[in-house]
Amino acid sequence: MTELKRQNALLELLQQQGSITVTEIVNTFGISPATARRDITKLDTQGKLKKVRNGAYPCEESKNNNWSPLTIYETANYDEKARIAKQAAKICKNGDSIVINCGSTAFMLGQEICGKPVQVITNYFPLLNYLIEQQHENLVVLGGQYYKERNLFLTTDQKADTYYAGHYMFTSGSGLSEEGLFKVDLLSAMVEQKMLNHVNKVVALVDSSKVGQRIGTLFSLAEKLDIVITGKDANPTIISALRNKGVEVILV
């Protein structure tokens, strides 16, 4: 991974967690403490985070620059994510029940699905709010405590989500390699994993910039992924390896 990609991934992880330590950076990216501190110092100088002892916090400006439903058109790789969302929506048939997890691509998928006779199961507050405002008729809310920094309702209750089942789970991640799908937010990943055994197929929505990246924790082995939808510029070696493992890969 290049320095620029690593630092961008570090900022993404920081925004999701609300803070980050040098130790977390070392463990996540497999770099030395000295390199982790240099990354923090460089990003602090650029005004992209606030450096503190043994870690960092988001600066106020970066907090205010997070995407929202009103600014989603400004999100990174918007055009590709929009194509991914449109392709994902085509998979869904009338009467299907689908689980949609968090992220900008997930939100765009919700926009595509909205108003169609499809049941949406989610704990992602921006999507819930949008679907309610648009009067989507069939909506299931996965409950729990609301985490403002993640925009999610989360619970560690092992039985809480076992009452729901879906035809598809649409999820994303911080990286996708021949090993599988990676995520940086451990708490939300744990909650999502509880649903894996209650859906017929798992669909990973990953923009091409994340294909070939190993960032965070392995959320799902490649063999457990049924479909991957990504951009045409995705690393061809990784795409070939995934197909050899029986994963259906759709390039858009």
Q: How many other CB atoms are there within 10 angstroms of residue 72's CB atom? A: 17
160 and 89 co-located in one domain:
yes
pLDDT in tens, 175-200: 999 999 998 877 788 888 888 889 99
107 and 195 co-located in one domain:
yes
Residue 146 forms part of a structural domain: yes
pLDDT in tens, 83-114: 999 999 999 999 999 999 988 899 999 999 99
202 and 233 co-located in one domain:
yes
Distances in Å between the Cα of 161 and the Cα atoms of 141, 191, 197, 229 are 10, 9, 11, 26
Quickly state the pLDDT bin for 72 (edges 50, 70, 90): confident
Which residues span the domain enclosing 89? 72-251
| Prediction pTM value | 0.80
Provide the CATH number for the domain around residue 202: 3.40.50.1360
Quickly state the pLDDT bin for 147 (edges 50, 70, 90): confident
Average pLDDT of span 26-41 = 93
Q: Looking at the 3D structure of the chain, how many domains does it have?
A: 2
Residue 240 forms part of a structural domain: yes
Q: Is the pLDDT of residue 235 over 70?
A: yes
**What pLDDT does residue 158 have?**
62
Q: How many other CB atoms are there within 10 angstroms of residue 248's CB atom? A: 13
Average pLDDT of span 200-206 = 97
**What pLDDT does residue 48 have?**
87
